[in-house]
Chains A and B, each alone.
Chain A
């Protein structure tokens, strides 16, 4: 049974005064209006961080009450930085089962109201306890992945700067993005070192935000053609190859197979560039280009809106901001907007028929690939 994205809502990313449920409701509003307030029988919501004084805030009953969804079934999901993608996949499966007919998927995150060390500590909890004990951070581990990647392919360290420059240039045209100022290669290269070779402008930013969409059964301009997931060991040190993400390669293979398409048919992609080099590596893991070839796609402008394959025309995590639980859902929402011709100034040059989104949990312990397209294709 085909399922399609019927409507999308996004609450602007950045430092917001509103609370978690306010942001979720702000995103849900346009999504519900988009389907003429037709009845919703399934609510799937996700947030990563704990927001209550004693742990996770009970978001489902609050959202149901706020949005008048008391008669809907509700599920809450969590997959760290891929929470939003997991929420989407769960809703797709529920609709495909035939049990539900219209789902509201919401992801929301509130990060800027708490001290940065507190947020960092919660984000670090996505790592393995032995990594936490060693004093590792997400950027620290990503730095070692980047170092191995560059060494293996004999690439100059500054190729990763291209990812940041591209993302920030794209975000200028996205009114929902946190950042609207382009950055030069020099600005990236001289930004504050975080864990070399990673610098501040290679790292996505703490952000508030929310995304929502309504999914319906039946075909549409943004139908779900295929989904795929994959896992890899939680600890970085247990992975045989540090220069590629096996979970993404598995997820991509399964998604392409279920969509019955090849990577060559993808016309727009939103990938999980939590760190600039990862956005480059993901293109390789998705099979868009060969291993070590990702940087040349950025260098040649092939990832631009009028390029061979527009990548992250929304600005990606680096340009949009990274409200952790939301990034996976907004990436799918952005692909849906592109396919529906509703992406405004961030629209790619040619209206795409097929688009892909990729998100990952932690540093790749679980990866999600979602392929949307017009159902006829």
Chain B
């Protein structure tokens, strides 16, 4: 694990015990607002990625999105400015306002 990496906040829903991010909203599974949060390393593995050539209004094209697994069964949707990562690529993830940004993990690459 790269000591320089940041951390991400994960939430555990007090109602249904689902773990999820972003941690600052109601549970995406059951809608409960009561959650417990805890930090995890901002590192994960890419499960799938695509490049949107027709992104939503206001988002510049191409818009690259990746599903990243942060912990077992806990995944997020991140955007990336780098070439489209392939499945299994290790990435570092940071939160930037409302969204997550992923980049190839230099420690893994080295």
Residues of A within 8 A of B (CB): 117, 120-121, 124, 128-137, 139-140, 143-145, 147-148, 151, 192-196, 233-238, 240, 242
Which residue in A129, A137, A237 is a CB contact (below 8 Å) of B25?
A129
Per the bound structure, the CA–CA distance linking A132 and B65 in Å amounts to 12
Cβ A237 vs Cβ B50 within 8 A: no
In the complex, chain A residues whose CB is within 8 Å of the CB of B82: none
Nearest 8 pairs between A and B by C-beta?
A144-B48, A237-B75, A143-B50, A117-B57, A134-B77, A133-B98, A135-B59, A140-B52
CB closest residue in chain A, given B22: A130
B26 CB to closest chain A CB (Å) equals 9
Cβ B48 vs Cβ A134 within 8 A: no
Cβ B48 vs Cβ A242 within 8 A: yes
Cβ B56 vs Cβ A144 within 8 A: no
CB closest residue in chain A, given B84: A196
Q: Given A117-B57, A195-B53 in contact, is the A140-B48 Cβ separation under 8 Å? A: no
Cβ A130 vs Cβ B57 within 8 A: no
B97 CB to closest chain A CB (Å) equals 9
CB closest residue in chain B, given A142: B50
Cβ B98 vs Cβ A137 within 8 A: no
Cβ A195 vs Cβ B79 within 8 A: no
In the complex, chain A residues whose CB is within 8 Å of the CB of B51: 195-196
Residues of B within 8 A of A (CB): 18, 20, 22, 25, 28-29, 47-57, 59, 63, 65, 67, 73, 75-79, 87, 98-100
Which residue in A120, A130, A148, A233 is a CB contact (below 8 Å) of B48?
A148
In the complex, chain A residues whose CB is within 8 Å of the CB of B79: 134-135
Cβ B29 vs Cβ A144 within 8 A: no
Which residue in A120, A121, A144, A195 is a CB contact (below 8 Å) of B67?
A144
Beyond the given A135-B99, A237-B67, A237-B75, please list 5 additional residue pairs across the A-B interface where CB-CB is below 8 A: A117-B56, A121-B56, A147-B49, A196-B53, A237-B77
Cβ A137 vs Cβ B48 within 8 A: no
18 contacts between A and B (CB under 8 A): A120-B57, A124-B56, A130-B77, A134-B78, A134-B99, A134-B100, A135-B63, A136-B52, A136-B56, A137-B56, A144-B49, A148-B48, A192-B53, A194-B52, A195-B51, A237-B67, A237-B76, A238-B28
In the complex, chain B residues whose CB is within 8 Å of the CB of A233: 28-29
Cβ B65 vs Cβ A136 within 8 A: yes
In the complex, chain A residues whose CB is within 8 Å of the CB of B50: 140, 143-144, 147, 195-196
Which residue in B28, B29, B67 is a CB contact (below 8 Å) of A130?
B28
Q: Given A130-B25, A195-B52 in contact, is the A238-B18 Cβ separation under 8 Å? A: yes
Per the bound structure, the CA–CA distance linking A131 and B87 in Å amounts to 20
